[in-house]
Structure formats: structure tokens, C-alpha cells
Amino acid sequence: MDKRFIEESFPVKEVGEISAKEKNIRHGHISTLHIWWARRPLAASRATAYAALTPMPEDPCEWEKKRKFIIDLSKWENSNSKQLLEKAQKEILEANGGKPPKVIDPFSGGGSYPLEALRLSCETYANDYNPVAVLIEKATLEFPIKYSKPFDNMPDLASLHSSDKSEARLFLQIQNKNPLLFAVEHWGNWVLEKAKKELSEFYKSQNNEIPVGYIWARTIPCQNPGCGIEIPLMRKFWLAKKDNKKISLHPLNSGPCKAVEFEIVAQNIFGYQPWPQGFDPEEGTVANANVRCPACGSMIDDKTTRKLFQIGKAGERMIAVVYTKPNSEGKFYRLTTEEDIKTFEKAKQALDKKIEELREKWMMEPVPDEELPPKGTLGFSPQWSAPKKWGDLFNPRQKLSLLVFADTVRRAYWRMRELGYSEDFAKGVTVYLGLTFDMLAAFNNSLARWENTSEAIKQLFSRQALPMIWDYIELNPFSEATGSFTTGQEYYLKVLQHICQLPNPGSTNSAIPTSTNSVNCTSVNSATMASAGSATVTQASATQLPYPDNYFDAVLTDPPYYDNVPYSYLSDFFYVWLKRTVGYLFPELFATPLTPKSGEIVAYTQKEGGLEAGKKFFEEQLALSFKEMYRILKPSGIAVIVYAHKSTAGWETVINALLDSGLVVNASWPVNTEMQSRLRAKESAALASSIYIVARKMERKDIGFYPEVKEELKKYMNEKLDRLWDEGIGGADFFISAIGAGIEVFGKYKKVMDYSGNTIRADSMLEDIRRIATDYAVHKILHNGFGQEISELTRFYVLYRWEYGEAKVHFDEARKLATSVGLDLTDYWDKPSCIKKEKEFIKVLGPQERKIEELERSKELIDVLHNVLILWERGRHNDLINVLKEKGYGISDAFYRVGQAISETLPNESKEKKLLEGFLLGRDKIINEIREREKEKQGRLL
């Protein structure tokens, strides 16, 4: 069995940096095709897929070339590089006996891994349990491959869409380049035009303004009997908060019983009221559901606020309008007028008629009447207020707008069919219209917010949750601002342009056993490709995949992680609307009221049994999915499993589940997909966001005896740790990678036992792996010396700074690090030491956080180092020299080397690093001075 590149090496640092930068890419990236949560970067997916499907070179020069090639291949600007892809595809073919490898992702989600496998001309299979994800994958994989080039029975789009011959010729040129892109753009414009014709009267312009959106505040009645006004709930009053543009709503103090009125104020901007003295827009009327009445000043506590919402006493009020002007840049603001209110009321009346019309036409309730998730569902908070159904998250005009767009999307499909489009092609085009509609819905609801720093509308999923907000912005879908239908369509077309450059449709592959969704394609370079790849999308549980045993060459996947993302509940927001726009075209995907949840592998805590039951369910189902991966993999198959870890305990769970499945872990690579500035900003330790675990389906020995396996482990890991160090892997990532390397020895055996017959699980072996890795790391950090000379506490300090910097970490993480150097944390945190316990966290104190009185009594190296750093900072040179002489560290190479090693692990802005650098700069002078004093002392004695 040949070793694949990813089993021996991987350019972790470089691919991590490229992956982190990818988060800033919008135009053409599949993340803008549709919202999906915890999506893996394309850069890391493409790089790891290639590295898993090609062999490891034996020659060091070839290894370096391949490493550089992987870095180039992962760059966004090279996503569709003909030269690089041809080379990658050729190597993958050669490694797979001249045939495109069969690759599956059982948890496809947003489709990152399948897209990159397809880009590499693999025979690609995408699967997910969630129907929304399946539809996204069809739009990402199937339709672009099938319809991005002229195809059999393609409708004559040119003649269908133009009666003018010259225009028809232009259409013909466009459609022959990309029929799908042509059709999606044409029908997107058709939907926009039809919807605008019906809805424009409800988004009226005043004084040549173009409304961008309408700012609303939810309201509750003041509970002071002497007041009783409707209080507008706003966290802050800012409209624009930029260095050169500060504009705010300013509530006018009109006194009890008088409605709150507003004016718009600005700092040095013509057209607004001057900024009131002492006014602070940061102080709104509500904070954490505690409300202050701006009229009488009385307070309403959070419990009363929630109760008022629950009993239907809350309302809402349109307060301001955001607009643009023709031939002018930027956003402008004004208060709402009577005309604005009348227009909105007119929309409410039109909504009732529209509901009646569509209820009969669609044979279902037009406004989503499906229930919101139950109280306590992870990430959801709107339920404590009035909303009970998904349709309650939209105000009347938003409902009217969305119903008109939804109906127009449905009409577009039937119009395409009337014009002679095939059923499949018309369905494909309509899916993109439905996904564009989804983006409109994400921006046009009562949980969308106005971001005053960028002056832009932000959709409701700013994070992986659905929180309650007090004030929201209602979008004008025709404004061409962020969130409008036009803007959404522009994003979609750019994504389509990008993914339609994947391998072209061509010859047919080997038969696919149970799928009905196969789409064929050829490679970029047909001269070098033996046969074509394909894209197949299925909906199934990852524990019961519809494929035969030993079918796939590779599994590349990113499983869910405990309760990190409540996928099904979040995606219900889109599911209820997709049922109404395209659900009738895909009845197999939209047969249930909401997305299926009983088989979803997520650790929900709101169900019976709470957290423990949720964790148990997750772990059991994840283990079953690993066994299913083992079943469908060929005997020599390889798996790359992405694990977004939070703790070593979670890592151990995954390792044990993999071993129980029969898969053997033989490498792991941490790819840091977070921007470094963001990581440094966190108070607690930030580990690499994703670990790429490499596992094999291979024959295993029956029994290994623990003492013998440990000896084998020590010998094997020295070589592996050298490679990890050479890759530039450091800190926490080094230990995680070492685990993946070390577990390869452990995983060679079906069972590992001690001589008493007790079975040894992975967690026990992980302790040994960590000890070996710790000894190695200390030796390297201290530059090949004095690792064994320093005490356990100083070793712990050095490793902690290297692994976690100055952050605090959970006790269990710190305990395992301490155990690996032979230290018991509980012996230190109640005594004067550098180890401090803060609730369930451990923090390692620097010199600036310690008392010199306590340090003076200690002979521990790290304490003496902290002591002299404080003395150095205070300019007490003689005291510093005396301490070093008395404690015996004055001319100790180990002492200064420890200081240097700690300095090298810390960021430039660290106070401790600056102290160390300053002190170490004069080390030679200090050593010479101590030696001179010793000579003088010896001379006096003689």
C-alpha cells in the first residue's frame, strides 16, 4: 500500500494562511451561493484532497516540489488554473490505476469537499441528511456540470427570448458559452421585473429618494400608571457611526404621558439637527431586556418585559427611513412620515388578498405556518416573545413582498416549460431563483439588523444562531443595496461563472449502483484523462449510505461536532420557504413539515435526558457513521476527516470511535482557518480551528501488548516528530499532530492489552504520546539542550507559553499538559506560584502579575527568572546581580536559555516578552560582572 502525501507531510502553515484569507473572498465563492454554517475553506479542502489522492515522493527534492505545488494549488486565484489542475488530475489518475477515484463526502453540507474533488476530476459523491444542504449541493455540483456547456435537447434560448434577429444572434453567442448562466440571469431579471411591477407602489420614493430600508423598533407600554406611553425598544440610537460620519436618532424628552418623538442629529453634517450637548447614542432604552422609559424615566425589569411580549402587549413602530439619492454617494436618513405609514398600511391590506389568492393556487398556507423550534433549542431566543411560527418573523409588508417573489419564481418555471425548456433544465434554473429568494428572505425579516459602522443591512444569521433583536430594518428589495434581489442575483451569477469552469460534460463513467442523480463530465485535459468524473448528490443518513461495500477510494468529510451548530433548526428558516418556491419540483426532499431531525447527528440538549443524553446520542451515531465509512471504503481506501476540536476529551472520543470502526488513524494536521488577529484577541487559548485526521482501511494485527507497543511508539514517534517540527507546526497544534502520528502505532492492532489482560483504550495511549511529544518539544524549544536539567514546573511553564501563550485554558487541558511533565497542578495553585486557578480555568502568570516578596523566597528557576525581570524593570541592578549569585543561576546557560525560549514563544506585544528581551540583551555583561565579583571574592579569600 503506497503512502499518500498527506500521511507523511503537509504544508500546514501555508495552507492555513491561505484558508484564513479565503474568508474575505466574496465574489465567486460558493459561500455566497447560499448560507450554510461551519463551511470548510475551499483552499484546505482542495489541498488535502489532492494530498490524500497522490503518493508521497521518496526523493527529498521531489517532496519539496510537491509541497510547493500544494501551496500553489490551494490559492484562490489558482482555483481554475488549467496548468495546475491538469497536473493534479494527471497525478491522481496515475495513482489510481488510470481511473478517476471514487470520492464521497457523507456530510457534504455546503459542498466544499465535493466541489474540490470534482475540480480534481474525481468521480464525486455528495450526501447529506438535510434537504436544504442537498439542494445547495445540486446547485453547486450537478447543475453547473450538466448545463454549463451546450447539451442534448437544449432549448433554442436565442429564438425563445428574442424576436429581433440581431438580438437573437447575440443571445445565441451568450447561450453557447454557458446556457445555464444565460438562463439564470434572464429569468432572474424576469422575476425581478414581474415582482417590481406588482410591488413598487409599496416602496414609494419621496422627493427623488430611493429607499434602502425602514428602521423599526419593537415597543412595550410603560408600566408607570402615570405615563403608559409606548416605549420604542432600541439598544442604541446610532444610524451611522464612522470616523467622518456620525448620525443618530435623538429621543426628545417630552415628559410623562407624551409619545416619544425623535429628531435626527449629526456631528458637523449639513441637513441634520446639531448634536445635543452631552448626548450619548450608546445609551438606548433597553439592555438585556431591562427597559428605561425615555418619557418618565421609570424602569421595567427583564421578567416583566418578557411577560409583556408573551401576553401580546408588545408592538412595533417604524421610526426612520434609510435612503440614497440619484447621482449622490452614501446613505441618508430621515424620520418616517404619514405617507410612509399609509403606504405600509396599504401593503397590509394587499397582503390579505394575496394570501387568499395563493392559498387556493398553491394548495397550502402561503405564509409559513410551521412551528418555531421549542424553547431551549440551542441558539434560538425569539420564542420567548410573540413569534410562535416561522411566518411570525416577518412584518406584513415583508410577507407581501416575499409571497410575490415566491409566486413569481413558481411562475417562471411554468413559463419556461411553456417555452419548450426540458423539465430538468427548467428545474435547475428555478432552483437558483429559489436560492436567490432565500437570500432575500434572510435580509428581509424582523431579525435583520442595521449595522451603523458599515451602513449596511445584515442578514439574520450573523452567527450560527437566531437571536432576538429589539430594533430591526425592513429591506426595500428593489433598492440595489446589500440584501436586495438584484444584489443577490449578482452574487449568484459570479458564483456560477466560477463553478461552471469545472470539468466539462463528456463521456459516461462506470455505472453507479443506486443513485438516480448522476451527471457526467470530462476533465480539463482529455488527452491525459482515461475517463471522466461525475457528480452525484443523495439524501441519506451518514449511518446508512446507499452504496455497496468496498466501493469508494476515498472519504473526504467534515462531520458535525457535538452541539456546535444546530443545522436542522437553523435551516428550517430556508426550508419553509423552499417548500413554497421549489418544493413541488422536488417532493422527495420536501415531504416533511420541517427538516428531518430524529437521525441528525447533533448533541441537542433540550430533548429528554439533557446534555448527557445528547452527547451519548452524538457519540453513538458518529461511531456508526465511521463504521459506515469503513464499510464503503475499498480495502486500500483512505479517509480524511475534519474535526473542529475544542478539547482533548473530544479528540479522544473521535479517536476511539474511529478505532472501533476499524479505521486506523495514521496522521493529523491542524489547519488554522481563523485570522491570526482574531485568535490573539481571544482571552482563552485559541487552538487551530480544524484538524484534518487521516485514516486508512487496512489490515490490523490481532493483539498488541502494552509494554511492547510503548517501545515501538517511542521509536516510531522520533521520526514523525522531526517531520512535524520541520513543517513549522508549533504550540497546541504540535501535540494534536503528534497524537495523530502516534496513534498510527496503536491503531495497527485490533486490541492493545497489558500483561494482566486489561484492554488499553486510546486515552491511555494518548498520555504516553503526549509525554514523548513533550520531551521532544522541550528539547527543541531550548535549542537542543538542558531539557532534563530544568524542573518540572519550569518545563511546564515553557511548554504552556509555547502552547497557549498568555491565555487561560480549561483545567483539564492544563492538567494533561502538567501530567506530561510529571506535575500535579493542585500542588501549586493554593501556594505562591505562577499557576493560578480561575474557576474552571488555569492561568499561568507572568512576572508583571507576581509579587516580588513571594519570589525572593523561591529557588525555582522560573521564579528566579521572574524575580530578576522585575528587578531589571525597576532598575535595581545590584539586587539583580545578588539574586542571581545567591540562587546559583548567574552563569547558568540553562537559565538564560529558558528565558530566551520563553521570549521566542510570545507575541511582540507581550509585556513579558519585552521584559525578557531587555534583560537578555545584557546577559553577557551580567555574566561577566558575576564572574568578576567571584574572582574578587576568591582573591580576598587568598
Nearest to 385 by CA among 285, 289, 260, 459: 289
Average pLDDT over residues 41-57: 96
Does 745 score more than 60 pLDDT? yes
Q: How confident is the model at residue 384 (pLDDT cuts 50, 70, 90)?
A: low
Helices 82-95 and 60-74 cross at an angle (nearest 10°) of: 130
Q: Is the pLDDT of residue 526 over 50?
A: no
Query: Over the chain, what is the mean pLDDT?
Result: 87
Pick the more confident residue, 320 or 818: 320
Q: Which of 318, 338, 322, 325 is nearest to 207 (CA)?
A: 325
Cα angle 804, 805, 810 (rounded to 5 degrees) comes to: 40
**Which pLDDT score, from 0 to 100, does residue 788 have?**
62
pLDDT greater than 90 at residue 322: yes
Q: Answer for the pair 179, 147: CB distance below 8 angstroms, yes or no.
A: yes
Mean pLDDT over 582-590 rounds to 97
- By C-alpha distance, which of 52, 131, 132 is closest to 552? 52
Q: Percentage helix, strand, coil, to 5, in the chain?
A: 45, 15, 35
Average pLDDT over residues 621-639: 95
Convert the pLDDT of each residue in 414-472 to its tens digit. Answer: 999 998 899 999 999 999 999 999 999 999 999 999 999 999 999 999 778 888 899 99
Mean pLDDT of 763-784: 83
**Residue-by-residue DSSP string for 106-118:** TT-TT-HHHHHHH
Averaged over 680-701, what is the pLDDT? 69
pLDDT at 787 (0 to 100): 56
Average pLDDT over residues 892-920: 92
Cα–Cα dist 479/468, whole Å: 26
68-105 pLDDT, tens digit per residue, is 999 999 999 999 999 999 999 999 999 999 999 999 99
pLDDT bucket at 518, cuts 50 / 70 / 90: very low
The proportion of the chain whose per-residue pLDDT surpasses 90, expressed as a percent, equals 57
- pLDDT digit string, tens, across residues 533-547: 579 999 999 999 999
* Distance of alpha carbon 661 from alpha carbon 698, whole angstroms: 12
Phi, psi of 751 (to 5 degrees): -150, 140
Give pLDDT, residue 647: 62
Query: What local confidence, expressed as pLDDT, does residue 168 receive?
Result: 52
For residue 21, pLDDT beyond 70: yes
Radius of gyration of the chain (CA): 32
Residue 678 in this model has a pLDDT that exceeds 50: no
CA atoms of 126 and 107, how far apart (whole Å):
8
- Average of pLDDT values for 276-292? 94
Asked if pLDDT for residue 304 goes beyond 80, the answer is: yes
- Per-residue CA distances from 412 to 89, 530, 702 (Å): 39, 40, 62
Amino acid at 238: W
- Quote the percentage of the chain above a pLDDT of 70: 90
Cβ atoms of 511 and 129 closer than 8 Å: no
**Phi then psi for 756, rounded to 5 degrees?**
-90, 0
pLDDT value at position 786?
A: 55
- Residue 680: pLDDT band (50, 70, 90) is very low
CB 779 within 8 A of CB 734: no
Return left, alpha or beta for 285; rule: phi > 0 is left, psi -120 to 50 is alpha, else beta.
Answer: alpha
Contact between 824 and 849 under an 8 Å Cβ cutoff? The reply is no
**CB-CB neighbours of 766 under 10 Å:** 23
Kindly state the DSSP code that residue 156 receives in the 8-state scheme: -
**Is pLDDT above 50 for 530?**
no
Please check whether residue 379 is in contact with residue 566, taking contact to mean a CB–CB distance below 8 angstroms. yes
Highest mean pLDDT (candidates 283-297, 502-516, 753-767):
283-297
Residue 165 has a pLDDT of 53
Question: Are 470 and 154 a contacting pair, CB within 8 Å?
Answer: no
Q: How far apart are CA 22 and CA 215, in angstroms?
A: 33
The pLDDT assigned to 767 comes to 81
- Tell me whether residue 510 is exposed, middle or buried, using C-beta atoms within 10 angstroms of its C-beta: 0 to 12, 13 to 18, 19 or more: exposed
Give the count of alpha carbons within 13 A of 440, CB side only: 34
**pLDDT tier at 351 (50, 70, 90 boundaries)?**
very high
- Selection from 442, 470, 196, 216 nearest residue 340 by Cα: 216
pTM: 0.87
Question: 3-class secondary structure for 835-874?
Answer: EEEECCEEEECCHHHCCHHHHCCCCCHHHHHHHHHHHHHC
Give the integer Cα–Cα distance in Å for 477 and 443: 9
